[in-house]
Structure 1
């Protein structure tokens, strides 16, 4: 029977600079960065996720600015001085509703960012350069290719570069290989927003997320319809992160593949500020009840300054700390959780009951045309939420694996349920 290997959990924050947000790269101030990192380290966190702005670092396809790379390394060194490890997202890409693409990919130079040979070669060199610059830093965790860059490949983006799943896979493999060449043996991965799990026909697939790279990243945001349908205290809302963690395992080839809850936050007004502590405690507790969890990285470290315009309202208040570096109640809650787990092994009980998912296609092709069933309101999502509300602790297995004794035993699954076992269809009138 599968027994998850014990892990030491990681707790961190996605670093949002207090002065200038991610535009701080234009006026980089190491003293300001150091003050931000002091406030993060004071929470007892052990890592940060860092976001270079792609157009600032590579303003021309053949110009990767040496000074920008030096500043990234200086930030990583400042983090090391405070006991913080660093993951670097390369292709930004998309952040908090804003797109940051270099001029050499748009307008008069418009070409597909996933398929054009020159653009892809430029991306490859850029990721390799960042990884290589940090390869000798002991606190460098590795690269994430980019932040939810899959949003550029499909609707609802207003101007997507449409590709096929095969093209997405080739692009991911090439970008990950560039990171590995730059910094061999580090944790290199990719991260998508939840269309990869929930949107039928989306070119970035669950199989890619669960098989390519050193870990599976999930980004849990309950404004995707979950909190609207289930409310701020519903089991589906408080277990949404755990659901994505378990859903990812259905497609994983390795039953012990680590899953990183790389983004999770308490978005107002669906999660009001006076409810953020309960939401954080419930969400993180549910995630920690999932075997093979790598860690939790909260979005985000600091609130966005109200001096900056045009952000969606919810983006301003997602921090663990205020914009003047004061700890918020939700920051104190996450700090308490991190402190409680410091030095402890993470070995949750095996999830022996699984809900079988038929998302169409095959596990081999991973296309999952029926992914909409996994989204909030979909039959599979709602059945999983019912089980979670009953305290069942459901795992997820693909329907084609539900009759494979060896695969089930490898994950410790002894009971397989179907959606109709949980949610009975209405009787004919």
Structure 2
């Protein structure tokens, strides 16, 4: 049966970036959405700024919820479904935390009882405000909120692996109470997959929530080590999708490539379109892939100060809503690909990252790591290759459930 992969984009407003919530303009939003829909995309991911929506622990602004609903309704007018992130949290190098949990009111984001209670009420309010809208896809707990939990954050909210799991389950339960039955998820940056000391783990990502989300950024050492057109760089998104499937208890669990982009100078602007095409071609046929959501829709206005240089030019469109070559490449891929027939990888590499729950040896999965190198060596030869955790490599029933007929080698710690 043909498989239809969803194609969307992370919505960065062309005027004011995410500060647009302070000067909410439905006409500007509709113009942005019109330019997004023109690329043939079917969904967007949007980002309320937490301090603006819940400026006091006991105040969730009705006007902010109303404006979020207006944005979702405007997206429906353009044939776009909407996924909404809750706890922003962290965006493009900036942290957005409400004042009631910083400085004089400093308390832990993941473990303080009053903070957790407030977060639950906030996520429930977001979900409840949008429940029943036909184009609302569900909530994501927050954007890479795991970056607050440890180094290299300058002021981390320390948490144990057990506390992280408890927090995630409570947040997702709050989402489901607000909008029952929708595929609510959570999202981590790649320390969850690549750093054995990080409290958020691959098992958290692959077993909690309705889908596994992955963020594939090649400025994490991949493009620096292997070059902008290296096989490992172009295969990185496919790799993290296959890595995610290895930790899932359910072989049929969907994976959402929630962020992928072409960051300059690691991907030179003149090579961004080629990078996008190669990345999409490698990942779009991965079995179990729910969708691909590019980062991001529109460039950041250079009138806004202090962003890292790479953040300004990640858009598929300019601030004037003109389609860039990378946007043209994505639109052409969507037009030409159509529904694809997906065949699960018959061959899988065995990964030994230690205990499956905490994965202390997951550093072997990072760029330059032994498992990363092995997987890329096999995959760059044209073979579609999966990943199997070491303790499951001899489980015939499990392998059959994933359609894997052969396991190859074992990369130990």
Q: TM-score range by the shorter chain?
A: over 0.9
Matched-pair contact (CA < 8 Å) for 2:371–2:411: no
Q: Distance in 2 between matches of 1:105 and 1:114?
A: 11
Q: What is the deviation of 1:420?
A: 6.2
Q: CA deviation at 1:389?
A: 1.2
Correspondence for 1:388: 379
Residue 350 of structure 1: aligned partner? 344
- What is the SS of the residue equivalent to 1:418? strand
SS of 2:186's partner is strand
**1:419 Cα shift?**
4.7
**Corresponding residue number in structure 1 for 2:353:** 359
Is 1:242 matched up with 2:238? yes
Residue matched to 2:323: 327
> Any residues of structure 2 matched to 1:12-411 within 5 Å, and which?
12-342=8-338, 344=339, 346-361=340-355, 363=356, 366-411=357-402
Asked whether 1:418 is paired with 2:412, we answer no
Say which SS state the counterpart of residue 191 (structure 1) adopts.
Answer: coil
Aligned equivalents of 1:8, 1:129: Cα separation in 2 = 32
Structure 1-normalised TM-score?
Answer: 0.95
Residues in 1 aligned to 2:119 and 2:3: alpha-carbon distance in whole angstroms: 33
Q: CA-to-partner distance for each residue in 1:142-182, whole Å, 9 max, x for gaps?
A: 00000000000010101111111110001000000011111
The Cα shift of 1:412 comes to 1.2
Per-residue CA distance 1:352-396 (angstroms, 9 max, x = gap): 1111000011x3xx1000010000011001111101111121100
- Give the secondary structure class of the aligned counterpart of 2:388: strand
Contact 1:354 1:394 in 2 (8 A): yes
Q: How many residues align?
A: 412
Q: 1:291–1:347: 8 Å Cα contact kept in structure 2?
A: no
TM-score (norm 2): 0.98
For the 8 Å contact 2:390–2:410, the answer to whether it is kept is no
Which SS does the other structure have where 2:358 is aligned?
coil
| Residue 7 of structure 1: how far off its partner (Å) | 3.5
Q: Distance in 2 between matches of 1:84 and 1:295?
A: 14
Cα distance between partner residues in 2 of 1:390 and 1:291: 19
Q: CA RMSD in A?
A: 1.1
Secondary structure of 1:113's match? coil
Structure 2 gap segments, 5+ residues each: none
8 Å CA contact 1:303–1:321 kept in 2: the answer is: yes
> CA offset at residue 289 of structure 1?
2.4
Structure 1, unaligned stretches of length 5 or more? 422-429
**Conserved 8 A contact 1:40-1:301:** yes
